Amino acid sequence: MVDYTAARTNMVDSQLRTNRVWDQRLLAAFETLPREIFVPDKARGFAYIDEDLPIGQGRHLMEPMVFARLIQAAAIEESDMVLDLGCGLGYSTAVLARLAATVVAVEELAAFADSATASLEALEVTNAVVVQGRLTQGYAKQAPYDVILLGGAVAEVPQEIEAQLAEGGRLVGVLLDEDGLGRAMLMRKDEGVVSGRVLFDASTPVLPGFERKDGFVF
């Protein structure tokens, strides 16, 4: 029998605090939210490993350290509205809901969206909603967003998603270079222009639909 409480404490102490995650609200969310209910039953014993965890359909639950450092860099405030793109089974949404005023999570797979909704309801999360839709389109209906999280690596950020950032808004995710190497990025919109900087290297699996498109070869 896995002691999930001990596993959460160990994740925070050995994976997060030792890797420059210091935000106390964020650490509290990681230490109290039951990550194991957001993974398939057969994978619950591995819910707290320091790796990207497959959850089916080619999707992954992001490595805790990478996810935590991205969220910390976004500097989420209690009044913020957040867009969680590719929420999977809902863990990222639950964490974000502890930090922000409102979270809109978008998930392309109906079964994942339904599971995420059920888990959030079980935890009585009332400031987050999961909608089904194309990840590459974001969710313009509730834009603009103070923060946008990309739930996996992407070759590029579609302009349609950048356009959904509020002025002063932050977007965090892992961007792939031409060689397929991933780098965690913080992007910000100021005076209508989106610019970014590299935070750290990250070998995060690609979010389906955001793969690099092959160009023409002459």
Q: pLDDT tens digits for 120-151? A: 999 999 999 999 999 999 999 999 999 999 99
160 in any annotated domain? yes
Nearest residue to 100 via CA among 122, 118, 83? 83
- pLDDT the model gives residue 218: 41
pLDDT in tens, 173-190: 999 998 889 999 999 999
**Ramachandran region, residue 26 (left: φ > 0; alpha: ψ -120 to 50; beta: rest):** alpha
Structural domain of residue 172, as residue ranges?
4-201
211 in any annotated domain? no
207 in any annotated domain? no
- pLDDT the model gives residue 214: 62
Domain of 36, CATH number, reads: 3.40.50.150
Global pTM reads 0.95
Contact 30, 4 (CB under 8 A): no
Residue for token digits 């039953």? Answer: 41
215 in any annotated domain? no
209 in any annotated domain? no
218 in any annotated domain? no
First to last CA, the chain: 59
Residues contacting residue 11 through CB under 8 Å, at least 6 positions apart: 30, 35, 48, 50, 64
Contact 62, 151 (CB under 8 A): yes
57 in any annotated domain? yes
The pLDDT of 31-51, averaged and rounded, is 96
HSE toward the beta carbon, residue 49, CA cutoff 13 A: 12
Residue 9 — very low, low, confident or very high, per pLDDT cuts 50/70/90? very high
141 in any annotated domain? yes
Total domains in the fold of the chain: 1
